[in-house]
Amino acid sequence: MRLADLCAALQLTAPAANPEVSGVTHNAAWVSPGDVFVAIRGAKVDGHSFAQQAAQRGAAAIAGEGWPLAEACPLPYVEVHSARAALADFATELEGNPSRRLKVVGVTGTDGKTTTSWLTAHLLRSAGLDTGLLSTVGYQLGDGALQHFPAHFTTPEAPQVQATLRQLADTGGQAVVLEASSHALALERVRAVEWDVAIWTHLSSEHLDFHGTLEQYFAEKRKLIERSPFAVLNADDPWTQRLKLGQHVTYSTEGNRADWQAQHIEEQSGGLAFKVVSPAGTFDAFLPMIGRFNVSNALAGMAAAHHLGATAEQLAAGLASFAGVPGRMEQVTRQTSMPSSLGPRVIVDFAHTPPSLEKALGTLRATTSGQLIVVIGSAGGPRDPSKRGPLGEVATRLADEAVFTEEDCRDTPLSDILSAMAGGAQAAGRSNYCLVPDRREAIGHAVRLAGPGDTVLLAGKGPEETLERLNETVPWNEVEEARAALELWG
């Protein structure tokens, strides 16, 4: 595509030069020949300072929100109102607006996004739709293997989102489920995605280092609801009442008035049994997952899939065949032949906020005959440090023993994080905790504490593939760490 044609499609003033354009990026180190380099002004660095590097790597043009040196720039310069919006708009146009060729479900909320996304994608596949998935765990094209973006795309930007959507559409995909985090919405990473259904799971305090206030966090998340023609909303979440409502359905597991309701919920050894009362009809359902809160995620997924054509029979069958989500209430088994019943039960979960940790521990307490032990840390840096004390309080209130350890301390002294967590426990009058700074040692310690019939919850890391320390980032696999500890048990 010629630069002039790209600018015309987006109603931008084109420069005199008209090179061929083949891609777009905001990182000069990622520039390939023919790319438009979008110079984004950050809090500390102005992307325009990398213009020369972008030119050396073969950029075809530069775009930005105005630049005094534009006339001296060796490349055509396109002035835009918002650099981040332009990054998304250029990517969407260059990829041919792929979301228009797909049924697109967006999922947002503080907790439950990933599980709800995976459930929804599975239900759509069970209903016969070739469905892709973009989640924080990875992405899938149809029902293929889980894939991961390269390390430098840990958080996919708009060009990677649009390229993945195009790849899915080009290979026969019919639908896609896309997690829409508050960062993705605020930073325009999912701008120009044409949504068909939006799911709202739940809102609680998180990422206030980035958003500043809970109100601003809410404002970013509600964009997904406002941009979608149809919404699936959690009637059990007080924030739902503040959303601008168009066409929508609601869901509830707590007896609130809602279109989709789960009744007679039973937590069985093999999963969750419940009755669904909904616009699709009334039917019995079984979900092979632990955690009563997952019934809420299942209702959300069923409501979205039904809106896109799934029948009650397809929904029930899809739920029953769901294999779960990596790092979400995932039970770790030994590789040896020793029966798991002879050792403790070890669960890996991503719970890293006080509400999600409370749900996870409450669920495991209801299904544990012995002791409940939790390993938990808290992120460093400015990432909502106010949750560290409450995490310590929740851990020691609901578990018999809590092991406080590292999660991703980044530039914060780990001792400060652990002290804050311990302070939360002490303020509540509890002393059933210990501090084990090294996470591998903490996992080993917790497993050694456990006996047959006990449960150990490893919370906070879930499926993440790295562990961030003060001066290094190391590879990490929580499930493998748990399995190694289990092999040494007894």
Tell whether 112 is in a known binding site: yes
| Average of per-residue pLDDT across 172-190 | 91
**Distance from C-alpha of 409 to C-alpha of 393, rounded to nearest angstrom:** 19
Tell whether 389 is in a known binding site: no
What's the pLDDT at 404?
98
Class for domain 98-320, per CATH?
Answer: alpha beta
Q: pLDDT-derived band of residue 258, with 50, 70 and 90 as boundaries? A: very high
Tell whether 281 is in a known binding site: no
Q: pLDDT-derived band of residue 382, with 50, 70 and 90 as boundaries? A: low
Q: Is domain 3-94 annotated with CATH 3.40.1390.10?
A: yes
What's the pLDDT at 186?
86
Residue ranges, CATH 3.40.1390.10, the chain: 3-94
Tell whether 282 is in a known binding site: no
Beta bridge partners of 287: 272
Range of lowest pLDDT (17-21, 71-75, 414-418, 449-453): 71-75
Q: What is the pTM of this model?
A: 0.80
Q: For residue range 144-154, what is the model confidence (pLDDT) as tens digits? A: 777 877 655 55
Residue with tokens 């030069």: 17
What's the pLDDT at 383?
63
What's the pLDDT at 339?
55
What's the pLDDT at 84?
95
| Average of per-residue pLDDT across 211-237 | 90
C-beta pairs of 470-473 under 8 Å, 24+ apart in sequence: 470/409, 470/410, 470/411, 470/413, 470/414
Reply yes or no on whether the pLDDT at 270 is more than 90.
Answer: no
Residue ranges, CATH 3.90.190.20, the chain: 330-487
Q: For residue range 325-342, what is the model confidence (pLDDT) as tens digits? A: 888 888 888 766 555 557
Tell whether 253 is in a known binding site: no
| Average of per-residue pLDDT across 301-312 | 98
Whole-number CA gyration radius for the chain: 24
What's the pLDDT at 181?
86
Reply yes or no on whether the pLDDT at 28 is more than 90.
Answer: yes
Nearest to 372 by CA among 458, 290, 472: 458
Nearest to 483 by CA among 298, 335, 311, 330: 335
Summary mean pLDDT of the chain: 91
Residue with tokens 């599980």: 115
What's the pLDDT at 341?
55
Q: Which tokens hold the place of 394?
A: 């929740």
Tell whether 411 is in a known binding site: no
Tell whether 110 is in a known binding site: yes
Tell whether 244 is in a known binding site: no
What's the pLDDT at 79?
96
Q: For residue range 93-137, what is the model confidence (pLDDT) as tens digits? A: 999 999 999 999 999 998 888 899 999 999 999 999 999 999 877
Q: What kind and span of H or E run contains 485?
A: helix 478-487
CATH architecture of structural domain 330-487: Alpha-Beta Complex (3.90)
What's the pLDDT at 330?
87
| Average of per-residue pLDDT across 3-25 | 96
Residue ranges, CATH 3.40.1190.10, the chain: 98-320
Q: How far is CA 146 from CA 30, 99, 139, 193, in A?
A: 24, 20, 6, 22
Tell whether 412 is in a known binding site: no
**Distance from C-alpha of 194 to C-alpha of 229, rounded to nearest angstrom:** 10
Q: pLDDT-derived band of residue 11, with 50, 70 and 90 as boundaries? A: very high
Tell whether 181 is in a known binding site: yes
Higher per-residue pLDDT: 138 or 158: 158
Range of lowest pLDDT (198-202, 227-231, 269-273): 269-273
Tell whether 113 is in a known binding site: yes
